[in-house]
């Protein structure tokens, strides 16, 4: 574990486990690197160097007042990658982390990147606009912002107990421990940081960033995702990224890093092994 220092002086926390071909895991809102524990442990045990950072304003990284936007997140990611001199790197982004990864490629290219995996990710563009009529209405994100201001602790409980893990679906059985971990990580984020990140993940247009992808890409998405709908996220991203591979998890919710961790781990390992043989 350690820290790197961003251009504005913000300290970015990261974990660095194992050795071998590097994999960098970028987390979702409003979580931190701990949300990747199952995947980080698995990949490190199977011969990979696994780096997982806390986005600025989240977890153990500095809670800056400014910089809560995708351009800054991507530049922080570049600082981490450059500081560790990571090469032939596989970038894996979950939810908001998928946006961070996409914007990194758009701003910094793929010179250090061997492959990309988008998991339940927010690209290409979540918000409904005139030129994105299939997007999610702004009122949905306004409600999240209102909940964040009114009682963000309860907001995070409600997300964990309901749509994030699909625990509001008939027959769902997501453990109290998994739901509590979501709440605990969420409360470790800075109030302003988490609030402003809502706009960052919902209103940032990643379509141009995806057009810059020129390395093998795997897109994984549940078709019952109630947070980033499949048609808005995974389906649209896979259609836009040249030669992307799409894996659809039937009936799966947003938080598949926990609810489908065995399947996700196997798919990540298969993708990484394929990259190593080329």
86-120 per-position pLDDT tens digit: 999 999 999 999 999 999 999 999 999 999 999 99
Q: pLDDT-derived band of residue 277, with 50, 70 and 90 as boundaries?
A: low
Whole-model pTM over 0.75: yes
Instruction: List active site positions.
Output: 95, 225, 254
Helix (H, G, I), strand (E, B) or coil at 183: helix
Q: Could you read off the pLDDT of 181-215 as tens digits, one per residue? A: 999 999 999 999 999 999 999 999 999 999 999 99
Residue 1, pLDDT score: 81
**Mean pLDDT computed over every residue of the chain:** 97
Burial class (CB in 10 A: 0-12, 13-18, 19+), 235: middle
| Nearest Cα to Cα of residue 55 among 83, 40, 22, 33 | 33
Q: Could you read off the pLDDT of 35-71 as tens digits, one per residue? A: 999 999 999 999 999 999 999 999 999 999 999 999 9
Q: d(Cα 102, Cα 241) in Å, to the nearest integer? A: 11
Query: Does the structure show a pLDDT above 80 at 133?
Result: yes
* Alpha carbon distances (Å) from 7 to 11, 65, 67, 131: 10, 14, 11, 34
Residue 266, pLDDT score: 98
246-271 mean pLDDT: 98
Which domain, by its residues, includes 170?
2-276
CA-CA-CA-CA dihedral for 31, 197, 74, 265, to nearest 10: 30
CATH number at 46 reads 3.40.50.1820
**How many structural domains does the chain have?**
1
Residue 274, pLDDT score: 87
Q: d(Cα 103, Cα 58) in Å, to the nearest integer? A: 18
């Amino acid at each position: 574990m350690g820290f790197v220092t961003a251009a504005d002086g913000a300290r970015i926390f990261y974990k660095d486990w194992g050795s071998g071909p590097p994999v960098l895991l970028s987390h979702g809102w409003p979580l931190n690197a701990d949300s990747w524990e199952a995947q980080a442990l698995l990949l490190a045990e199977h011969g990979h160097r696994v780096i997982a950072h806390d986005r600025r304003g989240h977890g153990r990284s500095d809670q800056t007042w400014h910089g809560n936007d995708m351009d800054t997140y991507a530049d922080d990611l570049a600082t981490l990658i450059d500081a560790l001199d990571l090469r032939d790197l596989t970038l894996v982004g979950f939810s908001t982390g998928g946006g961070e990864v996409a914007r990194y490629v758009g701003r910094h290219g793929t010179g250090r990147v061997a492959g990309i995996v988008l998991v339940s990710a927010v690209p290409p563009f979540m918000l409904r606009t005139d030129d994105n009529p299939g997007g999610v209405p702004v009122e949905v994100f306004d409600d999240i912002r209102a909940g964040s201001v009114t009682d963000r602790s309860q907001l995070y409980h409600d997300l964990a107990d309901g749509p994030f893990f699909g625990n509001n679906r008939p027959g769902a059985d997501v453990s109290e421990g998994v739901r509590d971990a979501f709440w605990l990580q969420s409360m470790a984020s800075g109030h302003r940081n988490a609030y402003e990140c809502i706009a960052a993940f919902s209103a940032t247009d990643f379509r141009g960033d995806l057009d810059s992808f020129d390395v093998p890409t795997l897109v994984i998405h549940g078709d019952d995702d109630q947070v980033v709908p499949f048609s808005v996220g995974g389906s649209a991203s896979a259609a836009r990224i040249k030669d992307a591979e799409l894996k659809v998890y039937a009936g799966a919710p947003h938080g598949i890093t926990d609810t489908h961790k065995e399947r996700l781990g196997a798919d990540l390992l298969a993708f990484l092994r394929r990259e190593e043989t080329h």
